[in-house]
């Protein structure tokens, strides 16, 4: 599997684990708590596999940036959490940063 596919799985697993963390209610609910452990375990394992072919700084920037934006969008859409102008602007800058890394950085192994 390619580093980019591992990175994609790591991002999805981290997002699912973070959503389950909310549902676990402080680890008082078993099923969501188990999903948190499995999700973060899978996310970090996939991130470790990613680092075999993608530099750590690039991989971590993309992993954390995309994760932040996805979690925020799901929070807004599903949980009706509000996002003010500053939050939307900040996330737009994160997306722009990820795009700049992917499109223009020589550090990224395509």
Can you list the alpha helix ranges (DSSP code H) found in the chain?
3-23, 30-50, 56-77, 85-104
Q: What is the pLDDT along the chain (110 residues), one digit of tens a residue?
A: 799 999 999 999 999 999 999 999 999 999 999 999 999 999 999 999 999 999 998 899 899 999 999 999 999 999 899 999 999 999 999 989 888 887 888 776 55
Beta-carbon contacts of 36 under 8 Å, excluding residues fewer than 6 positions away, are 17, 20, 21, 24, 27
Q: Tell me what pLDDT residue 103 has.
A: 83
Residue 26 lies in a domain: yes
Q: Tell me what pLDDT residue 45 has.
A: 98
Residue 42 lies in a domain: yes
Residue 109 lies in a domain: no
Tokens at residue 35, please? 């999903």
CA atoms of 32 and 38, how far apart (whole Å): 10
Q: Tell me what pLDDT residue 107 has.
A: 75
Look up the domain containing 7 and give its range: 3-104
Count of domains for the chain: 1
Residue 110 lies in a domain: no
Q: Tell me what pLDDT residue 108 has.
A: 67
């Amino acid at each position: 599997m390619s580093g980019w596919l591992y990175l994609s799985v790591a991002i999805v697993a981290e997002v699912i684990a973070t959503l389950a963390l909310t549902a676990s209610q402080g680890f008082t609910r078993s099923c969501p708590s188990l999903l948190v452990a499995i999700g973060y375990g899978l996310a970090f394992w996939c991130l470790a596999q990613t680092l075999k072919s993608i530099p750590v700084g690039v991989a971590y920037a993309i992993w954390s940036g995309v994760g932040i934006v996805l979690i925020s969008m799901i929070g807004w859409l599903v949980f009706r959490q509000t996002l003010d102008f500053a939050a939307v602007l900040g996330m737009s800058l994160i997306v722009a940063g990820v795009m700049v890394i992917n499109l223009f950085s020589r550090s990224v192994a395509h």
